[in-house]
Structure 1
Amino acid sequence: MADSQILVHMCCAPCSIYPVKVLRAEGLSVMGFFYRHNIHPYTECMKREQALDRYAETEDFKVLRQKDYDLKTFLQHVVYREADRCRYCYHDRLKSTALLARRGHFDCFTSTLLYSRHQNHELIREMGESLGKSVGVPFYYRDFREGWKEGIETSKRLRIYRQQYCGCIYSEVERYLGKGALRITPEG
């Protein structure tokens, strides 16, 4: 894989630190992709995007980003399916990355979701591999969780903006009000 170009879905700067380091050490040329439809509120999306831009500039790699902010469509796909919202979110982010990797003639693609201890790692891997086969660009699987602490320490040392929740409005509610705060009942 050395000298190959990889498109990396990047959810934020802190989660990108360790994967970028490892991928470059493996000889891959890294380009990032910032997906923004799931991040709420818009001000949070902008904080994450700006932090990622600053980090990318410091580390000398480019980041592609969506030009729009389609929170409405994201919410329409997960409303009343909140318990399974991550499945939709993973799929949409990975599919967007895979399609962009195909258009950009990348050798492979991956995601910084594979860095987080809070994500469903096996589901991400299965989806990535399936999407890679369907679009004709291999999914590059790597378990980046081993660098969890290193990424946190580095982001703190570099004073990079560190968010306190995954990104969607539901994870924000769970972060601040607890896991049981999202109980949805027929009565509302």
Structure 2
Amino acid sequence: MGRMALLAVVALAASLISVGVSWAIFPNDPVAVADDTDFDAAKFYETHARANAARGVVVASAPGTSLVPRPVAGLNQAQTNNAFIVIEVARQMQLPERAMVVAIATALQETYLRNLANPKVPASLKLPHEGTGTNYDSLGIFQQRASIWGTPEQLMDPAFASAKFYNKLVKVDGWQKMSVTGAAQAVQRSAFASAYAKHATTAQKIVDELNR
């Protein structure tokens, strides 16, 4: 076999291996996340007055007081409300602060803690949202794909979306000892894996302010 022919065979083999690896990591056909989330969002809001207030429901409080968390770390009110719910869900699930930081850093990268609808999923536009995105069929504050993670109603609910995120996080072996980036990427499988790192400090500050 000539030198050029040999190089062509090697190049073809390398290409096929690359395609195979890419498919294994990022398959074209989405694989649904197991529906093992027994989190009852309705009950969560019923029993967490501040979380209920954070999602815009009027909740009775003592005169001169407000159950809605004050904006923190440069976030606006809507972003702070979403962050508060993410943190409260972790508390409800009895998860450590580290899980909260990973989740907040993830949401900062994906949407900067905005609950985004998607025109590609028309049902999401009829639900409460704070803007839109057009990445595949991704929805909500974590940009979870409707073809993988759940229904639009579930993923556009910050509490349920948070529970889905945490359920997958805690199944990652050794996530507690991973960097924020490593843990976030293990859940999200983003094409921009290193992007979460820049949000770690802000995420910690948000958790410090709201996890009280």
TM-score (norm 1): 0.28
Q: Using CA pairs below 8 Å that are at least 6 residues apart, which structure has the higher relative contact order?
A: 1
**Which structure has the bigger radius of gyration?**
2
Greater strand share, structure number: 1
